[in-house]
Chain A
Amino acid sequence: MSKLQASNEFVIESREHLQSLEDSLLQIENSDDLAVIQKLVHEAFRVVHSLKGNAGFFGLTDIRELAHAAESVLEIYRSASDRPDPAGVQSLLSAGDRLRAMVDSVDTPSQFDNDSLIAQLNAFLKPSSSTDVGSDKRYQITIQGNVSIVGLIDRISSQDALMDIRPSRMLDWSIPIHSQSDVSVTIGFDSSLDPMEVMDGLRDFGRIESKDSPWIDISRTASVLPYFGDTDSVDVVRELRYGQVNLREGLPESPVFLSTLPKSDRAPQSTKTNTVASHLTTATPKVQPQSAISETLKTNQPRQTTPKIGPTTEAVVQPAMQPVIKPAMQPVIQPAMQPVIQPAIEPVIAPTIQPAIQTPSTQAPTAVSDKPTSIRIPVDLLDRLMNLVGELTIVRNQSQATLGEGEDAARAVSQRLDSVTSELQDAVLKTRMQPVGNLFGRFPRMVRDLARQLGKQVEISFLGQEVELDKSVLEQLSDPLTHLIRNSIDHGIEMPDARAAQGKPAVGRITVAARAGDGQVHIEIKDDGRGIDPAIIKAKVIALGLKSESELAKLNPKELASFILLPGFSTAAKVTDVSGRGVGMDVVKTNIERLEGSLTIDSELGTGTTILLRVPLTLAIIPCLIVHVGKEKLAIPQRAIEEIVCIYPGGHSEIESTHNAEYLRLRESLVPVARMDEIMANPKPFNEADRTAIVAKYVQQRKRHESSIQYVLVLNASGRRYGLLVDDVKGTEEVVVKPMHPSLKKVGTFSGATVMGDGCVALIASAEGIIAHADAGLPIAEKIQAPSVRNPDEVHRVLLFEFGPDERFALPLIQIKRIEAISVDSVENVGGQKFVNIGGVSTRLIFLNEVLNVSGCQLDKEFHVIMPKFVVEPMGIVASRIVDTESMSIELQEASVSDPGILGTALIRDRLSLFLDTQYLREKTFTTHLGETTQKKKSIEKFEADAQHQTDDRFGPSAHVLLIDDTPFFREIVRRYLESQGMTIVTAVDGVDGLQKCFSEDFDLIVSDIEMPNMNGWEFCAAARQQGYHGPMIALSSLSKLEHEEFAKESGFDTYEEKLDHDRLIQTVRRTLDDARRRKPSPTHKSFSGGAS
């Protein structure tokens, strides 16, 4: 291993040690359980010790000395019976920080002045030991037993002798040889010397060999005793152990047989040593049975647990040492030891010490997790693998293209190649993934320090630490997350007395939760602090002249909160060290957007702030929309695209222009439009004149009606919406991103390139770059116009269609299974009812004028049939004309039409459109005309029975249900579903509303949507449970079931159901109520809010 590699290993490992040290120390501070604290102190001691050993090995004296000082303090705490002095822990944390800094700049460690820090640490040592600290200390290593030091022993011979050898690097060697067969070698040396070097020095003289049963004792003898401080003696033992002498801790009074150590040690090391041992065993005829060794182990076991030497034990230890060791150890050990000695000793002296250093060894509680199930791989290598997989993909494509007709066998092989390649790509991608817990790990310390500095009490907790993210994404998330958490502490959490005055717990809570879903990771940073005051934002906005008061009045809280993302916008009343300088949130936002992610803020005055980050799992492969501009293909990351609008002659969307800008009228707002072909043709960012020229050019073209079909991609980046006009949209593709060539860093409009399936290179456009290019000079006020905060779940696509001439109907696409074009000839008449055969199923046609009070119509030769989802019976709604689909947030006016089959109405494209209730249509159709099948009969009976409130149904007619959903449309549908079952419904519009209402009355059941503003379903459920609601809860969402079911249960929901599936929902509601009843045998409805369960 080269020096460089070695020191890399050291740095990586030391960082891990230091992180672990910090974790332990922080837990020590927060724990009340003395046993736990003891464990943690041991853990901390262990890692500092490892670090010290490593540093010593690499000759990093500065690090070693500081680690030593820290270790000495921990040593005292380790043997103490009460909890560590908080000031001491603080000093240890500081020492950890300094060590980290030193480790990070390991090439130049001498730049740090550690004297004061070491003095500070030494202050926590008891005076008796600290006074002993002097430069002229001596250590002593005794190697005793029937050993010979080959090369040396020849000259010494086996007689009483004392040799004083002074190698250049050591102060003092003394090697007394005892007259018996035992040889005792005692080496004294100065504390400035690394015991490792001493052992190395020994090697220079010769090899330690043994015919019988040697053991190594490191101790003091009377002659050198005055030189020794107690802790130093311990020190030697441990140092040596890291030189793989394998002597156990606390050894001065109990020299340990070398061979037994691996067994009591942890797995990796013991494996290695055992291998060597068994290897040697075969070479040595005098093998002792295993049992003998384990016997020695047992004998040694108690010693491991004896208290370690503290500064006060000096008196006890000294006399005890020699007498105890020799009689106790020799008889037991000597016979057993023989075969094992060589392997044990040789590693001591051999230079390959690395393995021992990498496996720090005490009886740590976490031993299980240390199995070597992972290895380190350079990122370069992974990148190369990634490239190779990319090439493989292209070869695969080529192989498919070159296959001719009739080569079916080859085609099958090629297809297998295809699937293997895809899997390989997935697997390689996974190698780059790391759990977010790695990132979260650094925050507890930061929170603690910051909270102390500000005099606040803050507790941080984490959820979803196992969620995995690409390494590069993780790295880039670090700064934004740090900033957001600092903000929460500084701005969010109030001082303890202020919190108490508001009835909040004095300790502020910050929760950081990570959750994976649809190719993204959501990270939520939530505090229960004071929240963002809309009044302050408003005042600030007006002060900066960004908006007028009347404009502000129209904005919702989310939009208001999003102002803090603007550069230079800080609401902190005073600038502190921590935040308030007005740089920050905009940088956070920019960083997140650079990751192709997004950021939303949710805040309520007095209750807290929640910031939601959405970032992609990986940057290496991203889903892109492939578009054509002229002859060129471009990939545009899908995350930047909000929607796509098709523009065609005679269509209802068109480009409008002022003198210097083009706009797309998109529902209620004007979106500025840039033309990609013009952007690509002009290397310089557009100025006023360019824009005017472009507008003029296309105004002419529009007048001549030359424009053909084009598409506008509505991009959302840097908090602005922008339309990008392209010629054609080819569809989506997952592309492997390659960064731009390093010599082209100045090209901002493209963020990378990718090789397409056909082997062509396509550029990946950067939404930010494009917007910057198109309007470098737009004033800030215009940028604000489109708040970036937008909940995609609130927008639904709605199908518009007509039947009779008078009305227009609407159905959300989510409720539609399919639409078929049907010829009049294929309609069959059966007993006055009309059927068509669709996909082999005889489907009942519903003519709206027969079930609703609407106009009828004579059908053309061909008409359309809309088949609704979530309906058991095959039925189709007849439409004379399909108008279009429209994206809209469904806001129904409920009262305007009072037909039970109409859920409500909405103005869509200036026409009143009626939203149909498919469940009503179904019931009406199949109850009035078709009562035959038993299944339907039953459902009718049930329906009627419930309606008449006279059923023996176990949940009874008066089940009282709280329904929470932010979308009026769904709220209305679900309300109807449940009311049709005889339940009484109270509705709430979001989690906050729900939380207020759920304790105002006794509810038998709560049904809640998940995706809601202000407080989502998960949060609502957790809060309701926490505040003592014990009744059943059902989560209801359009999110897919499998993915969230478990999460729903974790949050406290009883079950999870998809929205709009009428039958399933009813079933689930019944079952849930039944279960709840059974748990609570008393049939009263009031029992659920009790608190007994």
Chain B
Amino acid sequence: MSSTETQFCTFRAADRLFGVPVQDVKEITTETTCTLIPHAPEVVLGYVNIRGQIILALDLKILMGWSGSEPSQLRCMVIFKPVIGPLFGLVVDEVCEIVSLNSDHLESFRSGGSTELGESRAKLIHGVAKLEHQLVVLLNSRMLLPYVENVA
């Protein structure tokens, strides 16, 4: 194993594959009850009770700004560690395997070429890596909450 190899937890949303570093993730939950928060930004799906703690659930699809997408159903949520940000998680369609990626395989993300993502969203993406069959978009976990604070 090379010293620059990192493990990523990958998950799927709207048929696309995303990943965040495994060490950012606290847990993955399949709790399905979510309380909507009126007046909160669109990317906020709501509050979820995880063993007495109230977790802010962010909708990955809306976060990525795919136009026309309906708010996600809460099926599966990746909850981040407190060092990443206080009590929040990312709602995804399904959680996939953990992959090890060598830093050589990481390509930095060029926002200029993308029409799908706006300028402010570009910061959410750390890079892209190529797996055997498809690309995985690696997210910048620490930028998720700042993004929520700025959209309102």
Contacts and interface: CB of A to CB of B under 8 A. Distances in A.
Interface string A379-394: 0000000011011111
Contact of A680 (B38, B49, B86): B38
A755 B33 contact: no
A773 to B, nearest CB: 8
Given A741-B86, A753-B47, A391 B37 contact: no
Nearest to A749: B39
Contacts of A745: 149
Contacts of B56: 741, 743-744
Given A390-B52, A759-B49, A747 B39 contact: yes
Interface residues on chain B, size class: 20 to 34
A747 B56 CA distance: 14
Nearest to A736: B52
Contacts of B145: 743
Contacts of A773: 39
Interface in A733-766: 738, 741-750, 753, 755, 759-763
Interface SS, A side: mixed
Interface in A1043-1082: none
A762 B145 CA distance: 22
A731 interface: no
B35 A683 contact: no
A97 to B, nearest CB: 38
B39 A755 contact: no
Given A632-B36, A760-B33, A741 B48 contact: no
Nearest to B35: A761
B147 to A, nearest CB: 9
Contacts of B46: 761
A683 B37 CA distance: 10
Contacts of A738: 54
Interface residues on chain A, size class: 20 to 34
A681 B51 CA distance: 29
A749 B149 contact: no
A390 B44 CA distance: 24
B152 A760 contact: no
A742 to B, nearest CB: 6
Given A744-B44, A759-B49, A761-B54, A753 B152 contact: no
A388 B52 CA distance: 8
B35 A760 contact: yes
Contact of A755 (B37, B52, B85): B52
Contacts of B54: 738, 741, 753, 755, 761
Given A741-B86, A743-B88, A753-B47, A683 B53 contact: no
Contacts of B39: 680, 683, 747-750, 773
Contacts of A393: 52
Interface in B23-49: 33, 35-40, 44, 46-49
Contacts of A679: 38
Nearest to A773: B39
Contacts of B44: 744
B128 interface: no
Contacts of B22: none
Given A743-B149, A747-B37, A761 B86 contact: no
Nearest to A388: B52
Given A741-B56, A741-B88, A742-B86, A749 B47 contact: no
A391 B51 contact: yes
B52 A394 contact: yes
A738 B52 CA distance: 10
A394 B51 contact: yes
B35 A632 contact: yes
Interface string A677-716: 0011101000000000000000000000000000000000
A748 B39 CA distance: 8
B143 interface: no
B38 A744 contact: no
Contacts of B36: 632
Interface string B80-93: 00000111100000
B62 interface: no
B35 A741 contact: no
Contacts of A390: 52
A738 B54 CA distance: 8
A744 B37 contact: yes
A761 B40 contact: no
Contacts of B17: none
B148 interface: yes
B62 to A, nearest CB: 14
A762 B38 contact: no
Interface in B104-124: none
A761 B47 contact: yes
Nearest to A676: B38
Nearest to B43: A743
A388 B46 CA distance: 22
Nearest to A769: B39
B38 A746 contact: no
B110 to A, nearest CB: 28
Contacts of B38: 679-681, 683, 749-750, 763
Contacts of A741: 47, 54, 56, 86-88
A683 B88 CA distance: 22
Interface string A383-423: 00001101111100000000000000000000000000000
Nearest to B147: A743
Contacts of B88: 741, 743
Contacts of A762: 35
A66 to B, nearest CB: 42
Contact of B37 (A387, A388, A750, A759): A750
A390 B52 CA distance: 6
Nearest to A632: B36
A797 B33 CA distance: 41
Contacts of B149: 743, 745-746
Contacts of B148: 743-744
A683 B151 CA distance: 13
Contacts of B35: 632, 753, 760-763
A683 B38 CA distance: 7
A759 B52 CA distance: 8
Contacts of B85: 743
Q: Which of A392, A745, A761, A762 counts the most B-chain CB atoms under 10 A from its CB?
A: A761
Interface string B127-152: 00000000000000000010011001
B8 to A, nearest CB: 24
Contacts of A744: 37, 40, 44, 56, 148
B41 to A, nearest CB: 8
A745 B152 CA distance: 10
Nearest to A752: B54
A693 B86 CA distance: 39
Contacts of A761: 33, 35, 46-49, 54
Contacts of A387: 52-53
B40 to A, nearest CB: 5
A392 B52 CA distance: 8
Contacts of A748: 39
B35 to A, nearest CB: 4
Interface of A: 387-388, 390-394, 632, 679-681, 683, 738, 741-750, 753, 755, 759-763, 773
23 contacts: A391-B51, A391-B53, A393-B52, A394-B51, A681-B38, A741-B47, A743-B145, A744-B40, A749-B38, A750-B37, A750-B38, A750-B39, A753-B54, A755-B49, A755-B52, A755-B54, A759-B33, A760-B33, A760-B35, A761-B47, A761-B48, A763-B35, A763-B38
Given A753-B54, A761-B35, A773-B39, 11 more contacts: A394-B51, A683-B39, A738-B54, A744-B37, A744-B40, A744-B56, A750-B39, A760-B33, A761-B46, A762-B35, A763-B37
